[in-house]
Structure 1
Amino acid sequence: MLSAKLKLRHTPEQKAALDAVALAYRDGLNFASQTAFDLGKTTSVPKLHKETYSVLRQRFGLGAQLACTAERQVTAAYKTQWTKAKQNQKAREKGFTKRRYKGLDDPMKFVSRTLEYQHGRDYSWKKDGKVSVGTLDGRLQLEFDGYQKHLDYIAQGAETGAAKLYYRKSKKQYYLIVALIIELPDPVPADHKTVVGVDVGQRYHFVATDMNGQSLFEKGAAVCQKKDQFARARKSLQRKGTRSATRRLVSLLGRERRFVADRNHVLSKMLLTRFPDSIFGLEDLTNIRERTEGRSNPSASKKAKRAKRRRSQWSFAELQFNLAYKAPLFGSLAVKVDANYTSQACPRCGHTSKGNRPNAGLMFDCEVCGHKGHSDRVASVNIALRTLLVRQDWMSMGALSMRPDVSDVEVKAARLSKYAELRWNPDPNA
């Protein structure tokens, strides 16, 4: 699935109609949010529908589909808040934090002019290269611009899902974010002759190694410095607290978010073009922050606080997501493997120990066989070996396990035992 960002060509009159429906939808969301809060912060769509549907239709003028979409969006948002509250409770019980999650103390407030259209009901494509979108006073047919590859998919009749009408205040411009569902052939092992292990991190955004021992390092020092600049500017603006400082802060946050997103897109494309037609192995880093950050310490040094801030801003999930969704478009595939001991296990002899990484540094020095190397490269080699095992199982069983079953302790222990038997020796310098 791809997300196509289409710039709508609207006149001032058409923009006014889009403003009206976007603002009405936002007001409807806030009304439904208050109602859900009064109903015990409910996540039940039928329960909320009973209380809000007629009001959304009559008071706010929303169409039937938009009213239902608003109800689902609100209940989904409260469900997310409940999930975060439960995660916070578990973290407090384990001593990771003392802060109580306050996301459910007040009704959720929606401020952006963003609404969701359902294909065939709220929006549709026209033969003359236009898109028809719903407003409070009927349909508008608008021309649009976008990335040519996405426009070609739409012109060829690609299946489309839900779309979001998004307003960018700085440009006074509306965009339509459309989900494109691209049909690709089912992958088979023979299509992917190369296996690549990708170790992600902060000092190095990624270290990728294929089965021939060829590695690609991408340093992250320049990006860390840029993020530190954003952090210093953000801290200065927060101290001022004026209205102009707040406006500047919002703009700065958007710029930082776009900078990180662009960087992750560039990195993912770099990997896909360097290693074409490959199976990329990615570490399953679920709950990595809970396992590594530990409890907060107000008396920690500036260096420790800076390191923790950098960990909290580490966007590994976005990089892995970009790589996973782009891979099929480049004839490749991404799978997840267990992340346990990837930087502590020796790929030559299989010995696993924290002592293999003296002082948890960048150098790997096996206590048994003496194999030495860059610890991140060793991790990428181990990930490649585990991915190769996934490929072999795929070829033998005819089924591909896209994600390790982290919930089954015994099965995971058996996999880790199997990993310990893997050996690597593609060249003398590996």
Structure 2
Amino acid sequence: MKQIITAKLKLTTTPEQFAALRQTQLVYRDALNAVSLYAFEHGKTSSVTTLHKGMYTELRTRYHLPSQLACSVERQVAATYKGLWTKCKKNSAHRLAKITKKRFKGLDQPPHYSSPTVQYTYERDYTFQCDSRVSLGTLNGRISLPYQGYDKHLALIREGATIGDAKLWYDRQKKQLYLLVSLTIGLPDPTPAQLARVVGVDVGIRYLAVTSTSTGKASFHPGKRTRHQANHYARLRKRLQQKGTRGAKRRLRRIEQRERRLKQQANHCIAQQIIMQHPHALIGLENLTDIRERTKRKKRKRKKSGKGTEPVSPQARKANRVYSQWSFAEVHNLISYKAALAGSLTIKVDADYTSKACPMCGHTADENRPRKGLRFVCQNKRCGYTLHADLIGARNITLRTLLIRQDWIRTGCLSTIPDAADKEAKAARLQRYAELRWSSVVTTSLRSQTGDR
């Protein structure tokens, strides 16, 4: 098993070296925008070959980029257009399925690159030297720079890790250049016997994460404080944008990264706590692809006496903004890579009905969540099970993860991500999930199967 991590190296530069690297960054950004405009004018192509034939000579003569940096520009633009075409096709499928009515507008104009980050290729644009120095390519040739970084990352660079591409990134507030190096670490493949514990993780807005083990042990990670501070920055940013003065723009530049760093720190702490609480575990996460489209508040239809639709209320607009900025993917990525380094493993399970299905009797209905609140009440008259809704979701994820672990033991093959394209296979999986039950008898058997105490 291989795990990719990023080493952040702080570069120590002289004024001349700093100016050379900044010039390289700005020219690289201009070249990206030029190639992006060319691709847009030639059918919004995502073909690297087409871009290379049409723009390589201009990148070399007009922008004076080295050959490898010119090729990196073409590959980066092609990847951007390929991603936009993928989103466009998804949007078309969602419009046909009436999931959304909005048309994807990402290809109406050529993508504009504002970040001056440079993509370097290892052993072509940059190489590591002795005495903690790195050689970087610029417009006027190579320069050698000393660097500093995290001790463990420096040890991996010197021995053991496979070094990949790097990015030259400029921190505008600190006025400091950093080299972000991709490192691939080889890890032993875990076995079912090594991953004796089974844990389910449910992520959300009011509670950023709720975990449940197979024995019922739960932990809650609330997000009220983080959400409150993020809403404060959103209101402040809105007021400053409406004001539009030079002082307001300076203030915007000072606070532009605070909300992102706030959420990143909260997600990092949550992921670290989950990994430390559940060592050597098989951790189940929800496959939340296209979750924003499914949770978006839509316009309500008018009553029979009226025509058209009612506008979205301010509360719904606020909810849509919060959901659109929901960083569940970052939480999942942090948990995944931290788990791999700690000897655990994460897998994705289907997210369908995890918070609407009763784990005790299997009854599934929207009415099990009264007013879509945090209280789960099973509407089956013979059951009537009541519990925290997010904990219900975590328990259902735990049961599905346990089922995958049992299939892993029986077949020797582990599927880390469910195939959402095959509808028949997904229906069969959901049918198997509907047969799972959470009870004291099952919990006792789970202890013997997983070894969780």
TM-score (normalised: structure 1): 0.95
Could you say which residue in structure 2 is the equivalent of 1:404? 418
Separation (CA, whole Å) in 1 of partners of 2:140 and 2:207: 53
3-state DSSP class of the match of 1:128?
A: coil
Partners of 1:97 and 1:295 within 8 A in 2: no
Q: Give CA-to-partner distance per residue, 1:333-386, whole Å, 9 cap, x none.
A: 110111111112222222222333333322222223222211111111110010
Separation (CA, whole Å) in 2 of partners of 1:213 and 1:371: 15
* Residue 52 (str. 1) matches residue 55 (str. 2): yes
* Stretch of structure 1 that moved more, 390-399 or 244-253: 244-253
- The Cα shift of 1:6 comes to 0.8
Could you say which residue in structure 2 is the equivalent of 1:248? 251
Could you say which residue in structure 2 is the equivalent of 1:40? 43
Could you say which residue in structure 1 is the equivalent of 2:397? 383
* Residue 349 (str. 1) matches residue 352 (str. 2): no
The AA in structure 2 aligned to 1:131 is V
3-state DSSP class of the match of 2:205?
A: coil
Task: Map residues 361-372 of structure 1 onto 2, 5 A cutoff.
Answer: 361-366=373-378, 367=380, 368-372=382-386
- The Cα shift of 1:231 comes to 1.1
Partners of 1:95 and 1:295 within 8 A in 2: no
Task: Map residues 290-309 of structure 1 onto 2, 5 A cutoff.
Answer: 290-295=293-298, 299-309=311-321
* Residue 425 (str. 1) matches residue 428 (str. 2): no
Could you say which residue in structure 1 is the equivalent of 2:406? 392
The AA in structure 2 aligned to 1:253 is E
Separation (CA, whole Å) in 1 of partners of 2:112 and 2:323: 29
- The Cα shift of 1:174 comes to 0.8
Alignment length, in residue pairs?
A: 430
Inter-CA distance 244–94: structure 2 relative to 1 (3 Å threshold): farther
Q: Choose which of 331, 353, 369 in structure 2 pairs with 1:319.
A: 331
* Residue 284 (str. 1) matches residue 296 (str. 2): no
Separation (CA, whole Å) in 1 of partners of 2:8 and 2:299: 40
- The Cα shift of 1:97 comes to 5.2
3-state DSSP class of the match of 2:326?
A: coil
* Stretch of structure 1 that moved more, 102-111 or 37-46: 102-111
Partners of 2:137 and 2:143 within 8 A in 1: yes
Q: Choose which of 31, 35, 51 in structure 1 pairs with 2:34.
A: 31
Separation (CA, whole Å) in 2 of partners of 1:349 and 1:82: 44
Partners of 1:26 and 1:110 within 8 A in 2: yes
- The Cα shift of 1:90 comes to 4.4
3-state DSSP class of the match of 1:85?
A: helix
- The Cα shift of 1:40 comes to 1.9
* Stretch of structure 1 that moved more, 146-155 or 359-368: 359-368
Q: Choose which of 236, 240, 244 in structure 1 pairs with 2:239.
A: 236
- The Cα shift of 1:429 comes to 11
Partners of 1:197 and 1:208 within 8 A in 2: yes
Q: Give CA-to-partner distance per residue, 1:102-148, whole Å, 9 cap, x none.
A: 33333322222211000111111112221111112221111111222
Separation (CA, whole Å) in 2 of partners of 1:92 and 1:396: 41
Separation (CA, whole Å) in 2 of partners of 1:106 and 1:423: 52
Partners of 2:376 and 2:386 within 8 A in 1: yes
Inter-CA distance 244–106: structure 2 relative to 1 (3 Å threshold): farther
* Residue 208 (str. 1) matches residue 222 (str. 2): no
Separation (CA, whole Å) in 2 of partners of 1:296 and 1:2: 42
- The Cα shift of 1:79 comes to 2.0
TM-score (normalised: structure 2): 0.90
Partners of 2:214 and 2:443 within 8 A in 1: no
Q: CA RMSD in A?
A: 2.1
3-state DSSP class of the match of 2:132?
A: coil
Could you say which residue in structure 2 is the equivalent of 1:70? 73
* Stretch of structure 1 that moved more, 406-415 or 214-223: 406-415
Partners of 2:59 and 2:65 within 8 A in 1: yes
- Unaligned residue ranges in structure 2 (runs of 5+): 301-309, 445-453
Could you say which residue in structure 1 is the equivalent of 2:270? 267
Could you say which residue in structure 2 is the equivalent of 1:374? 388
The AA in structure 2 aligned to 1:154 is I
Inter-CA distance 429–332: structure 2 relative to 1 (3 Å threshold): closer
- Unaligned residue ranges in structure 1 (runs of 5+): none
Separation (CA, whole Å) in 1 of partners of 2:64 and 2:58: 9
- The Cα shift of 1:16 comes to 1.3
Inter-CA distance 276–11: structure 2 relative to 1 (3 Å threshold): same
Task: Map residues 119-198 of structure 1 onto 2, 5 A cutoff.
Answer: 119-198=122-201
3-state DSSP class of the match of 2:256?
A: helix
- The Cα shift of 1:427 comes to 8.5
Partners of 1:96 and 1:295 within 8 A in 2: no
Q: Choose which of 116, 131, 135 in structure 2 pairs with 1:113.
A: 116
The AA in structure 2 aligned to 1:192 is L
Partners of 1:200 and 1:316 within 8 A in 2: yes
3-state DSSP class of the match of 2:45?
A: coil
The AA in structure 2 aligned to 1:178 is V
Inter-CA distance 383–310: structure 2 relative to 1 (3 Å threshold): same
The AA in structure 2 aligned to 1:415 is R
* Residue 10 (str. 1) matches residue 13 (str. 2): yes
